[in-house]
Protein backbone atom coordinates (compact mmCIF):
# COMPACT_ATOMS: atom_id res chain seq x y z
CA UNK A 1 0.00 0.00 0.00
CA UNK A 2 1.05 3.61 -0.34
CA UNK A 3 0.77 6.94 1.40
CA UNK A 4 -0.90 9.37 -0.98
CA UNK A 5 -0.75 13.17 -0.96
CA UNK A 6 -3.66 14.76 0.91
CA UNK A 7 -5.32 17.73 -0.74
CA UNK A 8 -5.53 20.78 1.50
CA UNK A 9 -8.24 23.32 2.23
CA UNK A 10 -9.54 25.24 0.26
CA UNK A 11 -9.16 22.80 -2.66
CA UNK A 12 -12.45 22.65 -4.66
CA UNK A 13 -12.64 18.84 -4.45
CA UNK A 14 -13.35 19.21 -0.72
CA UNK A 15 -16.68 20.82 -1.63
CA UNK A 16 -17.61 18.30 -4.33
CA UNK A 17 -19.99 15.39 -3.77
CA UNK A 18 -18.52 11.98 -4.52
CA UNK A 19 -19.83 9.28 -6.86
CA UNK A 20 -21.05 5.87 -5.60
CA UNK A 21 -18.71 2.91 -5.86
CA UNK A 22 -19.98 0.34 -8.37
CA UNK A 23 -16.90 -1.88 -8.84
CA UNK A 24 -15.95 -4.00 -5.83
CA UNK A 25 -12.59 -5.15 -7.14
CA UNK A 26 -8.85 -5.14 -6.49
CA UNK A 27 -8.65 -1.41 -7.31
CA UNK A 28 -11.09 -0.67 -4.48
CA UNK A 29 -9.07 -2.88 -2.11
CA UNK A 30 -5.86 -1.02 -3.06
CA UNK A 31 -7.54 2.37 -2.61
CA UNK A 32 -8.83 1.32 0.82
CA UNK A 33 -5.33 0.20 1.82
CA UNK A 34 -3.79 3.44 0.56
CA UNK A 35 -6.40 5.45 2.48
CA UNK A 36 -5.58 3.58 5.70
CA UNK A 37 -1.83 4.15 5.26
CA UNK A 38 -2.40 7.82 4.38
CA UNK A 39 -4.72 8.37 7.36
CA UNK A 40 -2.27 6.76 9.79
CA UNK A 41 0.59 8.88 8.45
CA UNK A 42 -1.43 12.12 8.66
CA UNK A 43 -2.37 11.19 11.49
CA UNK A 44 -6.17 11.05 11.65
CA UNK A 45 -9.12 8.97 12.82
CA UNK A 46 -10.92 9.01 9.48
CA UNK A 47 -10.31 9.80 5.84
CA UNK A 48 -12.27 9.70 2.59
CA UNK A 49 -11.13 9.12 -0.95
CA UNK A 50 -12.01 12.78 -1.56
CA UNK A 51 -9.18 13.79 0.79
CA UNK A 52 -6.73 12.39 -1.76
CA UNK A 53 -8.62 13.84 -4.72
CA UNK A 54 -10.55 10.71 -5.73
CA UNK A 55 -14.24 11.55 -5.82
CA UNK A 56 -15.61 8.13 -4.91
CA UNK A 57 -17.79 7.19 -1.92
CA UNK A 58 -15.29 5.40 0.33
CA UNK A 59 -14.19 6.19 3.87
CA UNK A 60 -11.90 4.50 6.38
CA UNK A 61 -12.24 5.05 10.12
CA UNK A 62 -9.86 3.78 12.79
CA UNK A 63 -10.66 5.05 16.28
CA UNK A 64 -7.64 3.28 17.80
CA UNK A 65 -4.97 0.83 16.70
CA UNK A 66 -6.33 -1.94 18.97
CA UNK A 67 -9.57 -2.10 16.98
CA UNK A 68 -9.53 -3.11 13.32
CA UNK A 69 -10.01 -0.23 10.86
CA UNK A 70 -13.51 0.08 9.44
CA UNK A 71 -14.22 0.57 5.73
CA UNK A 72 -17.53 2.10 4.64
CA UNK A 73 -18.44 2.00 0.95
CA UNK A 74 -21.38 4.12 -0.24
CA UNK A 75 -22.36 5.07 3.34
CA UNK A 76 -25.54 7.00 4.03
CA UNK A 77 -27.21 8.08 7.23
CA UNK A 78 -30.74 6.67 7.42
CA UNK A 79 -31.65 7.89 10.94
CA UNK A 80 -30.46 10.56 13.36
CA UNK A 81 -31.32 10.96 17.04
CA UNK A 82 -32.92 14.17 18.27
CA UNK A 83 -30.36 14.23 21.08
CA UNK A 84 -27.16 16.04 20.12
CA UNK A 85 -23.56 16.06 21.33
CA UNK A 86 -20.61 18.42 20.84
CA UNK A 87 -17.19 17.11 19.89
CA UNK A 88 -13.94 18.65 18.74
CA UNK A 89 -13.40 18.01 15.03
CA UNK A 90 -10.68 18.70 12.50
CA UNK A 91 -9.52 17.37 9.14
CA UNK A 92 -6.47 15.80 7.55
CA UNK A 93 -7.02 18.45 4.84
CA UNK A 94 -6.79 21.25 7.43
CA UNK A 95 -4.16 20.04 9.92
CA UNK A 96 -3.71 22.03 13.11
CA UNK A 97 -7.26 23.41 13.18
CA UNK A 98 -10.10 22.09 15.33
CA UNK A 99 -13.43 23.38 16.58
CA UNK A 100 -16.39 21.98 18.48
CA UNK A 101 -19.21 20.78 16.21
CA UNK A 102 -22.69 19.82 17.37
CA UNK A 103 -24.21 16.74 15.74
CA UNK A 104 -26.82 14.08 16.48
CA UNK A 105 -25.57 11.85 19.32
CA UNK A 106 -26.65 8.61 17.61
CA UNK A 107 -27.14 7.62 13.99
CA UNK A 108 -27.99 4.60 11.88
CA UNK A 109 -25.88 4.17 8.77
CA UNK A 110 -26.40 1.96 5.72
CA UNK A 111 -23.29 1.05 3.76
CA UNK A 112 -21.48 -1.67 1.85
CA UNK A 113 -18.33 -3.58 2.73
CA UNK A 114 -15.28 -3.73 0.46
CA UNK A 115 -16.75 -6.93 -1.03
CA UNK A 116 -20.11 -5.23 -1.72
CA UNK A 117 -22.12 -6.79 1.13
CA UNK A 118 -24.90 -4.44 2.31
CA UNK A 119 -25.05 -3.62 6.01
CA UNK A 120 -26.83 -1.32 8.42
CA UNK A 121 -25.77 -0.44 11.96
CA UNK A 122 -26.21 2.14 14.68
CA UNK A 123 -23.37 4.21 16.07
CA UNK A 124 -22.92 6.56 19.00
CA UNK A 125 -20.05 8.37 20.67
CA UNK A 126 -16.88 8.97 18.68
CA UNK A 127 -17.88 6.52 15.91
CA UNK A 128 -21.10 8.49 15.31
CA UNK A 129 -19.11 11.74 15.15
CA UNK A 130 -16.57 10.28 12.72
CA UNK A 131 -19.19 8.70 10.46
CA UNK A 132 -21.18 11.94 10.23
CA UNK A 133 -18.01 13.95 9.60
CA UNK A 134 -16.77 11.63 6.83
CA UNK A 135 -20.21 11.20 5.22
CA UNK A 136 -20.51 15.01 5.15
CA UNK A 137 -17.17 15.04 3.29
CA UNK A 138 -18.42 12.42 0.83
CA UNK A 139 -21.45 14.67 0.27
CA UNK A 140 -19.17 17.63 -0.51
CA UNK A 141 -19.71 19.31 2.86
CA UNK A 142 -16.30 20.21 4.33
CA UNK A 143 -16.49 20.16 8.14
CA UNK A 144 -16.04 23.90 8.74
CA UNK A 145 -19.34 24.51 6.93
CA UNK A 146 -20.98 23.09 10.10
CA UNK A 147 -19.58 26.10 12.03
CA UNK A 148 -21.06 29.58 12.35
CA UNK A 149 -19.84 31.99 9.68
CA UNK A 150 -17.61 33.77 12.20
CA UNK A 151 -15.99 30.54 13.48
CA UNK A 152 -15.60 29.28 9.88
CA UNK A 153 -13.82 32.49 8.83
CA UNK A 154 -11.56 32.40 11.91
CA UNK A 155 -10.66 28.75 11.27
CA UNK A 156 -9.81 29.50 7.62
CA UNK A 157 -7.62 32.46 8.65
CA UNK A 158 -5.82 30.41 11.31
CA UNK A 159 -5.13 27.67 8.76
CA UNK A 160 -3.86 30.22 6.24
CA UNK A 161 -1.42 31.57 8.87
CA UNK A 162 -0.24 28.02 9.69
CA UNK A 163 0.35 27.31 5.98
CA UNK A 164 2.18 30.62 5.50
CA UNK A 165 4.36 29.92 8.56
CA UNK A 166 5.20 26.49 7.14
CA UNK A 167 6.19 28.05 3.81
CA UNK A 168 3.35 26.60 1.68
Q: Which residues are catalytic?
A: 134
Q: Give the DSSP H or E segment for 89.
A: strand 84-89
| Nearest residue to 144 (alpha-carbon basis) of 30, 136, 64 | 136
Alpha carbon distance 32, 139 (integer Å): 18
Alpha carbon distance 12, 18 (integer Å): 12
Strands of the 106-112 sheet, one edge to the other: 46-48, 58-61, 70-80, 106-112, 118-124
Amino acid sequence: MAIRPIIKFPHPSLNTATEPVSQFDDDLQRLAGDLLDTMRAAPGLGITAAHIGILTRLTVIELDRETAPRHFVNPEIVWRSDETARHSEGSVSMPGISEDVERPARIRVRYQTLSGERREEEADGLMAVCLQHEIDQLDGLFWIRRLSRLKRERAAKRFEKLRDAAGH
